[in-house]
Structure 1
Amino acid sequence: MKMQEKFIKFITDNRLAENGDEILLGVSGGVDSMVMAHLFITSGFNTGIAHCNFRLRGADSDADEDLVREFASAYNVPFHFSRFDTEDYAIEKGITIQMAARDLRYSWFEKTMEEYGYNLLALAHNKSDRTETILLNLTRGTGITGMAAMKPRSDYRIRPVIFASRDEILEYARQYGVPWREDKSNQSLKYTRNKIRHKIVPLLREINPSFDDTMWENAGRFSEYEQIISQYMAGVREKSVKQINNDIHIDIRALVSFSPLKSILFEIFTPFGISPSGLDEVGALLSSESGKKIITRTHIIYRDRKELIITPGSPAEFPAKVINKPEDLNKTGLTVKAEIREISHPFKPPASRLHITLDAELVKFPVIIRRWKHGDRFIPLGMNNFRKLSDYFTDRKFSVPQKEKALIMESDGNIIAILGERIDNRYRVTSETRKILEIILKEPFLISGS
């Protein structure tokens, strides 16, 4: 069977594309993507070509761009391109050049698809790429998901030449005169993938001459195993995991009733920055006291009573802000609006806890916005006696992360309000109030959900 026949059959069998689809082709100028583009165009699909110039290889990067542009022009195919300051982006984000290029590429692809009406993105990964990726993921401990990597289709991303080996693609390029350029960095052994490609895979092919076919079959089975695990984990999550706003709450008793527990912890927690070696730490958190936490690069995992709570971000320091006059509240980044205005009676304070109204004559500037601390106390709205904030939070069943995020506003040594939660009764609006300090907070400062 000819390559083009295999190509069309693979697309049909795997339902990668059909008549009416608008397909954006990611084309670097290398042999894989140039052959993929040639196959799509000569097969009659509706396509456009997208090229990223990462400016990492000087004149070679520009030559790649020129080649792809000329190819698109020769076949009268829409050509989209973008040039990136990849090294600057990597430094700014604190990530590797490879990660930066990936982020920039896919972000731009998605914008281009939306702008020009493409519904599919074609990527030119081949069978050899899939083998290398599986081996690379094996060294990284990515679990069954990594073993099932590079599926023919992942949502709107399709890989229509993943059935073909690198040798088959090279042969097609030579046979049909498809132009392409070699990225010299593909030969450099400073990259882990290239070490696998040039050192590890050849040895495995010596052991098993059909190694690539074997890995292809393994990947298919791994994909099926992944579906089995996914179905099982759906049941685990249904009984033990719930999302409240941006936080994930995990019922510990329900979670530990499932087995094998360590593998379940892997499936639940690795997306939140826990490495395989950190699973024992998560296991210890299951039996620790309330208040203990694990901090990852992207999330914080708290033990809170009978739950684990996963919350985005890291414990951010919040330096106290001194607000000298009312209008300066609008410079804090915490408010939608803050102003002093006159009112008439009867006046009904808004129900939203994001909308604070205080008797302006009682609020003495400067005021301070800060994190709460142990020993802080106030008189909650509607009450007559002081309550320690720690006791108030306990009574209100605040979680550990909610406590950590709580901000208070202080005036002349007195707490005016817990922002997004409750004001002090002494500063409430009464029938005697003529002017109010009105503060509308941004959504993130609503700290209680009840």
Structure 2
Amino acid sequence: MLEKFKKHVDLNLPLLKGKRLLVACSGGVDSVVLAHLCRKLGLDMALVHCNFGLRGAESDGDEDFVSQLAEQLGVEVLVKRFDTEAYAEKNRGSIQMAARDLRYQWFQEVLGKEGFDFLVTAHHADDNLETFLINLSRGTGIEGLLGIPEVNGKTVRPLLVFSQEEVMAYAQSEHIQWREDSSNASNKYLRNRIRHELVPKLKELHPTFLQNFIRTQSHLLQTHTLVDNHIQSIKAKLFVENGGSITIDIGELEHLQPTATYVYELFKAYGFTEWDDVQHLLTAMSGKEVVSKTHRLVKDRQHLILSELEGEPKRPYLIFENEEQPNLPLKLNLENVKSIEKSGQDTIFIDKEKLNFPLVLRNWEKGDYFYPFGMQGKKKLSKFFKDEKMDVISKEKQWLLCSDNDIVWVVGRRADERFKVGDSTRQIIKITQLT
């Protein structure tokens, strides 16, 4: 197994070489064998162990064992104890999920603070089969059937090509000691029932079931890669960047068949989970939206608009006369001038005596109106936006420069007639939006 492990690292996981590795070690046979293999390859490593305090003296024994193993291998060990039951109760989750959350939160913390490059875990082919069967039993797509990824960010699982039988055989042949976790013998948890009852039956049906499963997952991965490449090419044509958001033509999206599958594949990376709601947006009224934890998807006439959720709500900003404004959301330059030059969307000239400082920079609100420069009478901003063919997101991001409650400038689009320079103007102020 050592030679096979070395070849696998050389060919498929060279990223582990020359890096600082954090090897997760519970004290069980899988993680202990992984620690021995990594050490024999001369990899730069330390052990990391979680004591969840769920099995009393047995948990403390595991901690002592891992500390002794680190001493035996001549490597550093990092250990942390958790009050897992209190965490599970506070977060209203299962003990299993609490332990998983605590474990990976701490591992990520250690990776960041202690300068390690990768976390290495001891998941093997049988673990992958169990995950596949759990996902299959719950209902899943192709990604769920891919099981556990070998490399996922900074987490690497170099034993996925090995069976539990191979790991055990190596431990016995090398006279490696390990700890048995009594909870693994219980059928209380779904994974253990699959491990003890279902997997042995499947292996009875076909002696090479596990090897066949590994080949099947390889085929699934290739199919997934093919699908992903196709989706990326569709996304490159369909997703149009537009001022910080993405616009998608609904007509073109509906031409893709099966549309529901394309919708899932195109938008799954943005955190959406209510797929019926996303699908219904295609035929919904303008203004309807679906929100994920990170993004929003808005129907705007014949388009969908995808954008990241804003953090803090936008607040109005005050602009004082003759003061620098370093914290504005956009760069505005106010300059006293003696005459009017050529103006444009980014520059306006205003009768300064008609302004009341401080000016206010804010987003538009329903009911806002102004007197468009060059026109007679007032116009609601909602109508102006419609005439400008602005989408929902662009409207929300539009800034208004105001004097008291009056709009001076729909920034970057149109000035207000009431503040224009006239024959009686004595002081002119030039306002420019800088890029």
Question: If the length of structure 2 is used for normalisation, what is the TM-score?
Answer: 0.74
Which whole-Å CA distance do the structure 1 matches of 2:290 and 2:393 have between them? 12
1:235 is aligned, of 233, 239, 244, to 233
After superposition, give the CA deviation of every residue in 1:83-115 in whole Å (9 maximum; x if it has no partner).
7888769968999636633652563365258x3
Which whole-Å CA distance do the structure 1 matches of 2:50 and 2:186 have between them? 20
Within 5 Å, give how 1:110-121 maps onto structure 2.
110-111=111-112, 115=115, 118=117, 120-121=118-119
Which whole-Å CA distance do the structure 1 matches of 2:244 and 2:67 have between them? 44
After superposition, give the CA deviation of every residue in 1:154-180 in whole Å (9 maximum; x if it has no partner).
566432111222243234334434454
CA 1:402–1:246: 2 relative to 1, 3 Å: same
Contact 1:136 1:193 in 2 (8 A): yes
Opposite residue 355 of structure 2, the aligned amino acid is L
Opposite residue 270 of structure 1, the aligned amino acid is K
Which whole-Å CA distance do the structure 2 matches of 1:248 and 1:304 have between them? 12
Which whole-Å CA distance do the structure 1 matches of 2:394 and 2:82 have between them? 40
Which whole-Å CA distance do the structure 2 matches of 1:183 and 1:424 have between them? 75
CA 1:366–1:435: 2 relative to 1, 3 Å: closer
Which whole-Å CA distance do the structure 1 matches of 2:144 and 2:151 have between them? 15
Contact 2:287 2:300 in 1 (8 A): yes
1:144 is aligned, of 142, 145, 154, to 142
Question: Does 1:47 find its partner at 2:48?
Answer: no
After superposition, give the CA deviation of every residue in 1:32-52 in whole Å (9 maximum; x if it has no partner).
2221121011123x3222526
Which whole-Å CA distance do the structure 1 matches of 2:419 and 2:413 have between them? 14
Q: Aligned to 1:7, what secondary structure does the other structure show?
A: helix
Within 5 Å, give how 1:243-262 maps onto structure 2.
243-244=241-242, 246-262=244-260
Q: Aligned to 2:45, what secondary structure does the other structure show?
A: strand
CA 1:19–1:102: 2 relative to 1, 3 Å: closer
Opposite residue 26 of structure 2, the aligned amino acid is G
Contact 1:367 1:412 in 2 (8 A): yes
Rg larger for:
2
User: Aligned-pair distance for 1:131?
Assistant: 0.9
Residue 443 of structure 1 corresponds to none
2:356 is aligned, of 345, 363, 369, to 363
Residue 123 of structure 2 corresponds to 125
Residue 225 of structure 1 corresponds to 223
Opposite residue 12 of structure 2, the aligned amino acid is R
Opposite residue 403 of structure 1, the aligned amino acid is K
Q: Aligned to 2:14, what secondary structure does the other structure show?
A: coil
Within 5 Å, give how 1:197-346 maps onto structure 2.
197-198=195-196, 200-208=198-206, 210-244=208-242, 246-275=244-273, 278-313=274-309, 318=313, 335=328, 344-345=336-337
After superposition, give the CA deviation of every residue in 1:283-327 in whole Å (9 maximum; x if it has no partner).
33223343222233433222223322222238x8959x6889969
Consecutive unaligned residues in structure 1, runs of 5 or more: 441-445
Opposite residue 28 of structure 1, the aligned amino acid is C
Which whole-Å CA distance do the structure 1 matches of 2:111 and 2:374 have between them? 52
Residue 158 of structure 2 corresponds to 160
2:19 is aligned, of 16, 19, 22, to 22
Count matched residues. 426
Contact 2:357 2:403 in 1 (8 A): yes
Which whole-Å CA distance do the structure 1 matches of 2:182 and 2:312 have between them? 45
Contact 1:358 1:437 in 2 (8 A): no
Which whole-Å CA distance do the structure 2 matches of 1:29 and 1:9 have between them? 25
User: Aligned-pair distance for 1:334?
Assistant: 7.2
Contact 1:293 1:300 in 2 (8 A): yes
How much is the aligned-residue C-alpha RMSD, in angstroms?
5.1
CA 1:338–1:262: 2 relative to 1, 3 Å: closer
CA 1:245–1:324: 2 relative to 1, 3 Å: closer
Which whole-Å CA distance do the structure 1 matches of 2:193 and 2:421 have between them? 70
User: Aligned-pair distance for 1:189?
Assistant: 6.0
Which whole-Å CA distance do the structure 2 matches of 1:350 and 1:300 have between them? 36
Residue 36 of structure 1 corresponds to 34
Which whole-Å CA distance do the structure 1 matches of 2:365 and 2:53 have between them? 48
Within 5 Å, give how 1:33-112 maps onto structure 2.
33-44=31-42, 46-51=43-48, 53=50, 57=54, 64=62, 66-79=64-77, 97=98, 100-101=101-102, 104-105=105-106, 107-108=108-109, 110-111=111-112
Contact 1:342 1:434 in 2 (8 A): no
After superposition, give the CA deviation of every residue in 1:350-391 in whole Å (9 maximum; x if it has no partner).
9997xxx99598236796956511x31124577775331112
Q: Aligned to 2:283, what secondary structure does the other structure show?
A: coil
1:173 is aligned, of 159, 167, 171, to 171
Which whole-Å CA distance do the structure 1 matches of 2:258 and 2:337 have between them? 64
1:6 is aligned, of 4, 7, 21, to 4
Which whole-Å CA distance do the structure 1 matches of 2:217 and 2:208 have between them? 14
Which whole-Å CA distance do the structure 1 matches of 2:103 and 2:360 have between them? 46
Opposite residue 292 of structure 1, the aligned amino acid is K
Contact 2:245 2:393 in 1 (8 A): no
Deviates more, 1:57-66 or 1:203-212: 57-66
2:380 is aligned, of 366, 370, 388, to 388
* Percent identity of equivalent pairs: 30
Contact 1:239 1:254 in 2 (8 A): no
User: Aligned-pair distance for 1:249?
Assistant: 2.5
CA 1:122–1:100: 2 relative to 1, 3 Å: closer
Consecutive unaligned residues in structure 2, runs of 5 or more: none
Question: If the length of structure 1 is used for normalisation, what is the TM-score?
Answer: 0.72
